[in-house]
């Protein structure tokens, strides 16, 4: 049973860089797209981007100038960095798997981690 777990600082100062890691356990990081999705309190979900274990990356058009994703195959992890953060980046950040079965959906999710941007 594949499980995902987010980790990283819960508080980031404005203008600094938010960094999160998702650890995949119970299965290989190969053969899927690994995604970051965020949800501000009381609001809808926003897809940030995804990375394939072979390095193919796509970012949300509105975030692509501030977002960087990477994958660490040896540790079954993938990471997110969002630069120049503002209060608008405060949200629960989820990592999620798209199994790439031709249906473009997310079948496994981490529990999410709250990141607050504040000085």
Partner 1 sequence: EIVLTQSPGTLSLSPGDRATLSCRASQTVNNDFFAWYQQKAGQPPRLLIYGPSNRAPGIPDRFSGSGSGTDFTLTISRLEPEDFAVYYCQQHQTSPLFTFTFGPGTKVDLK
Buried b (16+ CB within 10 A) or exposed e, 37-66: bbeeeeeeeebbbbbbbeeeeebeeebeeb
Q: Would you say 112 and 92 are in contact if contact means Cβ atoms under 8 Å apart?
A: yes
Helix (H, G, I), strand (E, B) or coil at 38: strand
- What is the per-residue binding string for partner 1 in 44-83, x denoting contact by CB under 8 A? xxxx----------x-xx----------------------
Q: Does 27 engage in binding with partner 1 (CB under 8 A)? A: no
> In terms of CB distance, is 45 or 87 closer to partner 1?
45
- Residues 105/61/58/80 CA torsion (nearest 10 deg): -90
> In terms of CB distance, is 44 or 119 closer to partner 1?
44
Binder to partner 1 among 10, 102, 118, 119 (CB under 8 A)? 102
Binder to partner 1 among 32, 96, 115, 117 (CB under 8 A)? 96
Residues of the shown chain interacting with partner 1 in the complex, contacts defined by CB under 8 A: 35, 44-47, 58, 60-61, 94, 96, 102-107, 109-112
């Amino acid at each position: 049973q594949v499980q995902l777990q987010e980790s990283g600082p819960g508080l980031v100062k404005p203008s600094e860089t938010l960094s999160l890691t998702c650890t995949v356990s119970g299965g290989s990081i190969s053969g899927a797209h690994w995604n970051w999705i965020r949800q501000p309190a009381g609001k809808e979900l926003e897809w940030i981007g995804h990375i394939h274990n072979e390095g193919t990356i796509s970012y949300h058009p509105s975030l692509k100038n501030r977002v960087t994703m990477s994958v660490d195959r040896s540790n079954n992890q993938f990471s997110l960095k969002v630069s120049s953060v503002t209060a608008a980046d405060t949200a629960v950040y989820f990592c999620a798997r798209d199994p790439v079965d031709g249906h473009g959906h997310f079948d496994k999710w981490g529990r999410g981690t709250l990141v607050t941007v504040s000085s």
